[in-house]
Structure 1
Amino acid sequence: MTLATKPLSSYIAVVFDFDDTLVPDTVDTLLESLDIDALQFRRDRIQPLVDRGWDKILARFYAIIEESKRRENKITQEYLANFGKKLAPFDGVTEMFDRLRQSACAINPKVEVEFYLISCGMVEIARNNCIAPNFKAMWGCEFSYGKDGGIEFLKKLVTHTEKTRYLFQLAKGIDSNPKEDDDDGKSFVYRDASAKELHVPLTQVIYVGDGSSDIPCFSLLNEQQGIALGVYKDSTAQDWSREVEISQSQRVINLAPAEYSEDSELMRSLTLAVESLAKKISLLQLSVGE
C-alpha cells in the first residue's frame, strides 16, 4: 500500500437496534407475558416517574423491578432467558443474515459481513433469542440478580448517547468490554486510533434503528460517512418523522417498514448498502494489489 491510498479493511459491520427493529417491543411483550396491560403500566407506573425527572430508561426498569418484587421476584434470569427463546423476530429476520452475507460474497468473496446489536433494552432477552448466534457481539442493559434469582438492580445501563460508544468499540475490534482499568475501559474505547489500526472503519458500518434512541448513532454515522437506515412499525414514514424530531445531520438514507422479506423495501435497502460497501472495498483492494 502506498501513502496515497486509503487503509484497507475487508469487513462490513451491520449494526441493529433490537426492540421494534428486529423484534416487537420487549417491555410491552414481557409485561403481556405477566398478564399486565402494557399501555396502562406505562401510563400509571412509568410516566409518573418520568414526570418527576427520572431518566426514561431508568424509570422503565425501576418500575419493572418493583413489579417483579411485588410478585415475589417473578422476573428471574431464567424467566428472561425463556422469554427470549419464545420471542419471535419480525418476518424475514432469521433469513436476512445469510442473504446479506451472500450479497457481499457475490460482489467480492474476500469481504466479510459482521453483525452487531446495540440496545437500550434487556440484552439478556436478545442473547437467548433464536437470532443471537448471528451476532459477533451484543450490548445492552443488564440486570443484577438477587439471591433468590429475581431482578434486583441494573448493573449495566446503555443510554441513547452511549450507544455510540459501542460503535467505536466494534470499529476497534473490541468484541466485549475492554479490560483496561480506568473507567470501565472507556478511555481506551475513545482513544485516537489510526485508520490502519481499525478492524472496520465507521465508513463501512451500516446502522439500522427505529427511533429516538438511535438518533446519536444516526448522527455519528452521517458525520463519518457511514450508512444509517430507519425502520418503523405499525405506523407510516410520516408518523415516524413527526414522532422523532431530527436535524439534517441526523437523517437516515432510507426509512422503511420493519419487514425483512426478500422483496421488501428494507431488505432491498440493506442489500444495496452491503453491495455498495463491498464494491468500495473491491476498489480499495485494487489500490493495494490484492
Structure 2
Amino acid sequence: MEKQLPIVAFLYDFDKTLCTTDMQDYAFIPSLGMTPAEFWAEANGFGRANRIDGILAYMYTMLREAEKKNLPFTRADLVEKGRGIVLFPGVADWFRRINAFGERQGVRVEHYIISSGLREIIEGCGLGSEFKEIYASEFYYDDRGRPVWPKLAVNFTAKTQFVYRINKGVLDVSDDKTLNDSMPDDSKRVPFTNMIYMGDGLSDVPCMKMMRSYGGQAIAVYQGANRVGVEDLLAKGRVDFIFPADYREGTALDATVKNILRKMAISDRLWEENTQQLRAIGGDVLPNQVGLF
C-alpha cells in the first residue's frame, strides 16, 4: 500500500487576513444604503442592549435591515455579494504555490477557513474550492433559499472547536460524539505541530494561543491600520511571526512560510525514522513534536 504523505494544515481567518476589510463591507452593507460604520454601530449596539452574542447580533441585523428596505436576502444573493471581495496581493495564486511547494517537501498541504464572517459570501469570492472545509457563520435556508435560522455562529472563542476538529479529522460540525471521544495522539489526522494559523488580530488570539501551546505556528498579518496591534501580539508572545499582508512569491511572508513547511517536513521524517527504530526494539512510540529532535 502506498505510504500516505504527512498533512500540514493552514488555518485562516478571512476578514483582514485574506481580504482587505470585513466581507460585508464590500457589497452587502452598501446595498442597504448604509456605511460600514453605521451598520456595525447598529449591530454592536443591538447586541449589547439585548445581551446577544455579537455574531448572532450582526446576522440578525443583516436580516432586519434587508427586510426594512425590502431588499432580496437569499443564499444566492449573499454568494453574489462575495464577488466584490478584494483579496490581498498574491492570495489568488497562494494556494496553488504553497501546495506545490509542500509536495516538493514531501507533505500534503490542506487549507481551512475559521471565520466569524459568512460562509455564503466566502463561497462567492472565488476561493471556495481551495479549502478542504470552510468553518464560518452561516444561515439555514428554506427551499426557496430564504434564511430562517442561524445554522452556525462562529464567535472568537468558538473558533478553537474547529482546530480540534481538524486535529482529529472530525470535520462534520454535527458530530460532537466523535470529536469528544478519546483518541491517541499518534492516530490524530493532523498533529498540532503540523498546523499554521494565520490571522490579523485579537479575535484570533484563542487559536493563536493553541498553536503556541501545542507546537504549531501562529502568524499575524497586518495593514498599516493594525500594525501596532499585531506588533503588540508579537511583543507579548501571542504569535510567532508578523508580516505585511502580502502573499506574493518572494515576500517575507512567503519565505517564512516555506521555511516552516521545510521544518515540519524534516520533523515528520525524523519522527518516522525514530518510530521505526523504536518499534524494531519494542519501545514506546512518542507523539510527533516539532521540537523533539
> Is the aligned partner of 1:159 residue 2:168?
no
Shift of 1:74: 2.1
Counterpart contact for 1:172–1:200, Cα < 8 Å:
yes
Q: Which residue of 2 aligns with 1:130?
A: 126
Mapped partners of 1:75, 1:216: distance in 2: 32
Shift of 1:237: 2.5
Q: Does the C-alpha gap of structure 1 residues 47 and 137 become closer, same or farther in structure 2, counting only changes over 3 Å? A: closer
Shift of 1:258: 1.5
Shift of 1:247: 5.6
State the SS of the aligned residue for 1:216: helix
Q: Which residue of 1 aligns with 2:77?
A: 79
Counterpart contact for 2:201–2:229, Cα < 8 Å:
no
> Is the aligned partner of 1:204 residue 2:160?
no
Of 139, 143, 148, the residue aligned with 2:139 is: 143
Q: Which residue of 1 aligns with 2:251?
A: 264
Opposite residue 166 of structure 2, the aligned amino acid is: L
Shift of 1:123: 0.8
Q: Does the C-alpha gap of structure 1 residues 112 and 9 become closer, same or farther in structure 2, counting only changes over 3 Å? A: closer
* Identical residues among aligned pairs (%): 27
TM-score w.r.t. the length of structure 2 is 0.83
Q: Which residue of 1 aligns with 2:43?
A: 46
Equivalent residue pairs, number: 271
Shift of 1:289: 5.3
Mapped partners of 1:86, 1:176: distance in 2: 29
Counterpart contact for 1:12–1:114, Cα < 8 Å:
yes
- Range with greater deviation from structure 2 (165-174 or 70-79): 70-79
- Range with greater deviation from structure 2 (46-55 or 18-27): 46-55
Q: Which residue of 1 aligns with 2:8?
A: 12
The runs of 5 or more residues in structure 2 that have no matched partner are: 278-293
> Is the aligned partner of 1:171 residue 2:167?
yes
1:181-203 superposed Cα distances (whole Å, 9 cap, x missing partner): xxx43242133210222111111
Counterpart contact for 2:16–2:200, Cα < 8 Å:
yes
Q: Does the C-alpha gap of structure 1 residues 232 and 170 become closer, same or farther in structure 2, counting only changes over 3 Å? A: same
Shift of 1:263: 2.2
> Is the aligned partner of 1:282 residue 2:272?
no
TM-score w.r.t. the length of structure 1 is 0.84
Provide the alpha-carbon RMSD of the alignment: 2.5
Larger RCO (alpha carbons 8 Å, 6+ apart)? 1
Of 79, 103, 107, the residue aligned with 2:105 is: 107
> Is the aligned partner of 1:28 residue 2:15?
no
Counterpart contact for 2:193–2:214, Cα < 8 Å:
yes
State the SS of the aligned residue for 2:88: coil
Shift of 1:94: 1.6
Q: Does the C-alpha gap of structure 1 residues 239 and 167 become closer, same or farther in structure 2, counting only changes over 3 Å? A: closer
Shift of 1:91: 1.3
1:53-88 superposed Cα distances (whole Å, 9 cap, x missing partner): 332222222211111111225221111111223423
State the SS of the aligned residue for 2:225: coil
Counterpart contact for 1:15–1:117, Cα < 8 Å:
yes
Counterpart contact for 2:32–2:65, Cα < 8 Å:
no
1:147-192 superposed Cα distances (whole Å, 9 cap, x missing partner): 7644343121112111111111111122333xxxxxx432421332
Counterpart contact for 2:116–2:154, Cα < 8 Å:
yes
Mapped partners of 2:230, 2:211: distance in 1: 20
Opposite residue 38 of structure 2, the aligned amino acid is: Q
- Range with greater deviation from structure 2 (18-27 or 47-56): 47-56
> Is the aligned partner of 1:190 residue 2:180?
yes
Mapped partners of 2:55, 2:261: distance in 1: 32
State the SS of the aligned residue for 1:235: helix
Mapped partners of 1:272, 1:118: distance in 2: 24
